[in-house]
Amino acid sequence: MNFASVRKLPVVFFCNNNLYAYSTPMSLQMAITDVVDRAKAYAMPGEIVDGNDVAAVYRVARRVIQKARAGEGPTFIECKTMRMHGHSEHDSAKYVPREVLEEWKAKDPILKAERLLKELGYADEAAFHEVEERVKKEVEAGVEFAEQSPLPEGPEALEGVFATPEEIEP
């Protein structure tokens, strides 16, 4: 962040603040309430956005990306959200109070986006059902393809993992 700020690089930093680091709440890790306050230490502008509001994230991101492309340097965006499950498969997230999870469950970003699309007249239940069925089929086809595909041989396993300078478009 310091280098990007000093050099006025066209970078947008996103912090997906899910309010916990593994099992420790933010209030026990930092003396500040908002991670975005750390951007000030680098003389970098920062913004907080509702990370569960797809349209709000899009609007903020679009605006600061335009600023970055216009040569106005980097910005730090903190997206406030909540991880609705444990940090990993073995983590039951029992450390998160149930009432907190219930509060955030009501803010589900998918349901929020669906409501907005309905309100704007872009979609209805039938359209959402169609998308859900199409996605299920695509995922099932992808899983089937992966399970039926042979394991890659030696060097082939590295293809596409790292980009060489020749592979990066200017």
pLDDT given at position 167: 56
Range of the domain at 138: 120-150
Q: Is residue 55 part of a domain?
A: yes
Residue 47: CB partners within 8 Å, gap ≥ 6? 36, 60, 64, 75, 76, 77, 78
Report residue 47's pLDDT band, with 50, 70 and 90 as the boundaries.
Answer: very high
Same domain, 102 and 125: no
**Residue with the two structure tokens 């299920």:** 136
Residue 38 and residue 114: Cα distance in Å, rounded? 34
Q: Is residue 158 part of a domain?
A: no
Q: Is residue 136 part of a domain?
A: yes
Residue 138 clears pLDDT 60, i.e. is over it: yes
Report residue 156's pLDDT band, with 50, 70 and 90 as the boundaries.
Answer: confident
Query: Quick check: helix, strand or coil at residue 76?
Result: strand
pLDDT given at position 166: 59
Report residue 163's pLDDT band, with 50, 70 and 90 as the boundaries.
Answer: low
pLDDT given at position 91: 85
Higher pLDDT, 21 or 125: 125
